[in-house]
Amino acid sequence: MTGMAQAKVTDKDIVNDQATPGDVVSYGLGPRGQRFSPIDTMNTSNVKKLSPVWAFSFGGEKQRGQESQPLVKDGIMFVTASYSRIYAIDVETGDELWQWEARLPDGIMPCCDVINRGAALYGDLVIFGTLDAKLVALDQKTGKPKWRKTLGDYKAGYSFTAAPMIVKGNVVTGISGGEFGIVGKVEARDAMTGELVWSRPTVEGHMGYLNGKENGITGGKANKTWTGDLWKTGGAATWLGGTYDPDQDLIFMGTGNPAPWNSHLRPGDNLYSSSRLAIDPDTGKIVWHFQTTPHDGWDYDGVNELIAFDYKDRGKTVKAAATADRNGFFYVLNRENGDFIRGFPFVSGITWAKGLDKNGRPIYDESNRPGNPSDSEDGKKGKTVFAVPSFLGGKNWMPMAFSQDTGLFYVPSNEWGMVIWNEPVNYKKGAAYMGSGFTIKPIYDHIGSLKAVDPKTGEIVWEFKNNAPLWGGVLATAGNLVFTGTPEGYLYGFNAKTGEVVYKFNTGSGIVGSPITWEQDGEQYLSIVSGWGGAVPLWGGEVAKKVKDINQGGTVWTFKLPRS
């Protein structure tokens, strides 16, 4: 590296990340997760000059899904890779500075590939999680471990794949494992030491803790919205991590499906599964919640990112937050109190609900809920239904972007359905706890659809259709550009206002990562991780046929717009 001094990353740096074009120090290009860059050097007229300057391979035989978003600070890129690996790279040359790899036990149980979505920076540390549900802090200069903490018991099905989040000096994490009957939780640890500050379970009935002392039961008591003891293995995993709104001083965390998938075993709303939670970052208390799919029977997790944004309505500023849910509906909420403002479908042909009521609660079509196995002659398989969207969602984990210039959200969505049925199931520690069978099916010639969505009206302003499912994140810039990647390997650049393709480059493997951009020495850079994998080839049913010939990979591609 060319003699750059390294400054420690502060809370102020993270809060201001979106406004500082010289670095990317947080997942989402700022704690709100808008994934919008104010850099306008590159635009629709000159983006065709964007050229690769280096490509860094993760190496070895450990390929699989590469869902990471890189971070850049003082000329160093920190990027995670499959199988719980992390690398430091000189951004000028593409040279490796160091690498670190977790020693994973044989018994890990990640549901949806051996991926990792990114790291967090704080002080002189880089912090990331591992597939055996550990959190590791490394020295940014050397890659040497400074502390390690266990987030959950991997033998019970806990794992960790999300990018941690720094909020007010604490590293905030969720947890994966909803398909194994774990109990979801959100936790905050001192970022410099790893010591636990607070823990908040996301299933009703479990005790929260603050500074080692009891801090109230989630929901107040057990069994309000669950049956019997099912709350003890209720799922609601917080597997995607969250966002943070400095304006309201609230963490927004999504929760996954209730366990088991067979909804007939657990009557009730099953709080706080398939929900968005607003959490006090100082205490871990839940301030408000919004449940997108009460009594979820289709695996429509509510984990997708909730992005804070403002808009004008009759001259007044509305402090809103938006999310594109797995269940196919796009929701706009008042982020101050969680009140429902509006909701609308962003994918077509939704079957499980007839719409949303005035409070945003789904109006169920109960004929499209998978049938109760106990109603069948042999008690082994309930009525099969064809549900849209599939359980992989109208949008899955892949983060959308919000442009402060156009006022639009750019949503990486998928159009597909599933044949689904319920089966009997009993909980056993470390075993899959689902009680459902399914096959995903395409419903059109295309599956992937990048949509420009107006959150004020529900209008789909433009749409880019892609043959294979979209599974990577999106970036918007002040240069009227939107970037994302496809399983076919292409990095695409679009005109943010019209959807016209203005850039296209093939990276050699499917893209399921999230792009970033930054400025260095007066030039605009863009990076994206390429490497096919994730949930689609593992769970995709008939859809998997569309992607069966895509090669795996593991490469960071870095591009630069040269000086004119």
The catalytic residue positions are: 299
Q: Which contiguous run of DSSP H or E holds residue 535?
A: helix 535-539
Closest CA to 90 of 527, 564, 553, 562: 527
**Three-state DSSP class for residue 544:** helix
What pairs with residue 80 in β-bridges?
86
* Alpha-carbon distance values, 157 to 154, 236, 317, 458 (Å): 5, 13, 44, 39
Residue type, 40: D
Cis peptide leading into residue 70 (ω within 30°): no
Q: Which contiguous run of DSSP H or E holds residue 539?
A: helix 535-539
According to DSSP, residue 183 is labeled: B
> Do the Cβ atoms of 524 and 503 come closer than 8 Å?
no
The phi, psi pair for 435, rounded to 5°, reads 75, 30
Rounded-to-integer distance, Cα 15 and Cα 299, Å: 33
Rounded-to-integer distance, Cα 488 and Cα 532, Å: 9
Rounded-to-integer distance, Cα 37 and Cα 21, Å: 7
Residue type, 326: R
Closest CA to 199 of 243, 150, 234, 233: 150
Structure tokens at 25: 């120090």
What pairs with residue 494 in β-bridges?
482, 501
Handedness of CA 472, 389, 464, 456 (dihedral sign): negative
DSSP E strands, 19-141: 36-37, 51-57, 71-73, 76-81, 85-90, 96-101, 120-122, 125-130, 134-139
**Three-state DSSP class for residue 272:** coil
Q: 242-245 and 213-217 as β-strands: parallel, antiparallel, unpaired?
A: unpaired
Rounded-to-integer distance, Cα 64 and Cα 552, Å: 6
Structure tokens at 501: 């393709």
> Do the Cβ atoms of 242 and 304 come closer than 8 Å?
no
* Alpha-carbon distance values, 486 to 52, 115, 212, 506, 509 (Å): 17, 17, 45, 9, 9
The phi, psi pair for 373, rounded to 5°, reads -55, -30
